[in-house]
Structure 1
Amino acid sequence: MTVTIAAESPLQDDVRALVADLNETLLELSPPEFCFHMTAEEMAGADTTVFVARDGGAAVGCGALRRHGGGVAEVKRMYTRPGHQGQGIGGRILDEILALARQEGIGRLVLETGDRHDAAWRIYERAGFNRCGAVLDYPDSGYSIFYEKSLQI
């Protein structure tokens, strides 16, 4: 099957199930107080665009661009179901996020990811993100790794 990626509402039942899988996965890797989830309702806010990867119509991955103002936006909710990992889906979702951020004139992208998410680190680093100190209002704990990328020309 061909995997497609498009901006979609997170309020669809299959996308809600995907987000629930993501949340469950994160809770297996980090203490609850260091899991920075967004609900589907929060993801549906005007400040967030959600990209969904579909394989034969089934939601298999997601990622989001959340705008914070001042030329800064955040990469959020990146996830690919285990059976689809290793196929470049996460990188393709990130490419969509980057393209939208550039189109909107966002100057800096930031993100927080877990300290045990080495597959995610590879995706971000291949896309030109660099590790940095704590971003936005995230606590600087041993459970988080932070990245940033300048989009200014």
Structure 2
Amino acid sequence: MQISFETADQPDVRALIAELDAYLYSLFPAENVYALDVSSLTQPNVLFAVARANDGAALGCAAIVVTPAYGEVKRMYVRPAARGQGAARRLLETLELRARAEGCTALMLETGPTMPEALALYERLGYKYRGPFGDYPDDPLSVFMAKALA
């Protein structure tokens, strides 16, 4: 498996994002899905990484939107058939290293309470629970976490 920084505007990556959207909309009402579209993911302040199998197939993706105050983890997804192989951990660790190199000192994220695998991953990687940040409302369908990179 390889992790590399790529553009979100590729057919196989768009397919990953569409799978993620379908999954999120199956779990949460539309007003509780805070997803970025492909156009937003191609902005200069977005770090976007893709996990690929040795044959080049896209297995997963994740992004960090870098702001002056912090980086926000977005669009974290690994296809079900590829889970349990370390792709999510490697995606996030790769993004964290790059964000740190670009001067980011903290990461934040919003996820859902009905996603125990995601919550467990973030906890294992040192993310701590916190209250809402940015423009997010305090909502029972959102879980907020943060990690210092310094």
TM class by shorter chain equals over 0.9
Structure 1 residues not aligned, in runs of 5+: none
1:131 Cα deviation after fit: 0.4
- Does 1:69 find its partner at 2:61? no
The secondary structure found in structure 2 opposite 1:69 is: coil
**CA–CA distance in structure 2, aligned partners of residues 42 and 151 of structure 1:** 24
| Structure 2 residue aligned with 1:110 | 108
Q: CA deviation at 1:116?
A: 0.7
- Return the structure number with greater strand share: 1
Equivalents in 2 of 1:100, 1:81: separation in Å? 23
Alignment match, 1:24: 22
CA shift, 1:65, in A, is 1.0
Matches within 5 A, 1:6-85: 6-55=4-53, 56-70=55-69, 72-85=70-83
The amino acid that maps onto 2:74 is K
Q: Distance in 2 between matches of 1:117 and 1:68?
A: 26
| Aligned AA (1:127) | L
CA RMSD in angstroms comes to 0.8
Q: 2:148 aligns with which of 142, 147, 150?
A: 150
Supply the AA of the counterpart residue of 1:13: P
State how far apart, in whole Å, the 2-side matches of 1:17 and 1:100 are.
25
Matched residue SS, 1:142: coil
Q: Distance in 2 between matches of 1:45 and 1:83?
A: 30
- Offset of 1:104 from its aligned partner? 1.2
Deviation at 1:33, TM superposition (A): 0.4
Deviation string 1:35-64 (CA, Å, 9 cap, x unpaired) is 011111110011101100111211110000
The residue type paired with residue 102 of structure 1 is R
For 2:34, give the aligned amino acid. Answer: F
TM-score between both structures, scaled by the size of structure 1:
0.95
TM-score (norm 2): 0.96
Match of 2:67, SS state, is: strand
